[in-house]
């Protein structure tokens, strides 16, 4: 059986852009609005799953109450941990660590930010979480509220992109995408 997985990226956060990673930023009013607008015409969902970081979880919990749906928080769906780069903007890193940033952008699987989580390990934990969802909720439609990195990874897999193109996948704040997932997990972008 197939899982219909809708992916929603959190909205704008209080501390702005940059590599937020495991930092637990809250949403701005605009961030809340971006997410509300994204789900306005979505669904219907059978359940909601979210990263436990508040920029995802608070919205998901409110939506669960409003729609009377079960909510599950899964730490394996958190953003990539950027180590020493957490909280830094790309512009700031260009001033302090341009060569390393360039290596990361060229192939995030081949270069790990200092003290950060290797993208291969990130990929394994996210895909394992999606596999668990696929087995547990086959035949259902699930809204997954998560982060740009998680969504880039899943969309790149669904689109069959080479690993070097992972960071080329565009995922704006409040973006909503749909995937069809079969056990494996085998991901296909829904049209």
DSSP string, 139-184: TSEEEEEE-HHHHHHHHHHHHT--GGGGGGS---TT-EEEEEEETT
The number of folded domains in the chain is 1
- Report yes or no on 166 lying in a domain: yes
Q: Which domain holds residue 39?
A: 2-79+118-189
Per-residue pLDDT of the chain (191 residues; tens, 9 = 90+): 799 999 999 999 998 778 999 999 999 999 999 999 999 999 999 999 999 999 999 999 999 999 999 999 999 999 999 999 999 999 999 999 999 999 999 999 999 999 999 999 999 999 999 999 999 999 999 999 999 999 999 999 999 999 999 999 999 999 999 999 998 788 888 86
- Report yes or no on 96 lying in a domain: no
DSSP structure class, residue 138? T
pTM of the model: 0.95
């Amino acid at each position: 059986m197939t899982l219909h997985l809708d992916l929603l990226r959190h909205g704008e956060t209080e501390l702005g852009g940059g590599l937020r990673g495991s930092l637990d930023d809250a949403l701005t009013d605009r961030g809340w609005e971006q997410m509300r607008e994204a789900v306005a015409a979505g669904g219907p969902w059978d359940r909601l799953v979210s990263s436990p970081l508040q920029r995802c979880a608070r919205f998901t919990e409110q939506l669960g109450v409003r729609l009377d749906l079960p909510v599950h928080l899964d730490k394996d769906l958190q953003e990539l941990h950027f180590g020493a780069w957490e909280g830094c903007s790309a512009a700031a890193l260009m001033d302090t660590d341009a060569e390393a940033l360039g290596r990361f952008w060229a192939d995030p699987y081949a270069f790990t930010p200092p003290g950060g989580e290797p993208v291969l390990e990130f990929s394994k934990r996210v895909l394992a979480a999606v596999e668990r969802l696929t087995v547990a909720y086959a035949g259902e439609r699930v809204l997954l509220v998560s982060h740009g990195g998680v969504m880039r990874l899943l969309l790149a897999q669904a689109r069959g992109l080479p690993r070097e193109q992972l960071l080329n996948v565009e995922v704006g704040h409040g973006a909503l995408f749909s995937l069809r997932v079969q056990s494996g997990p085998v991901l296909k972008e829904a049209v």
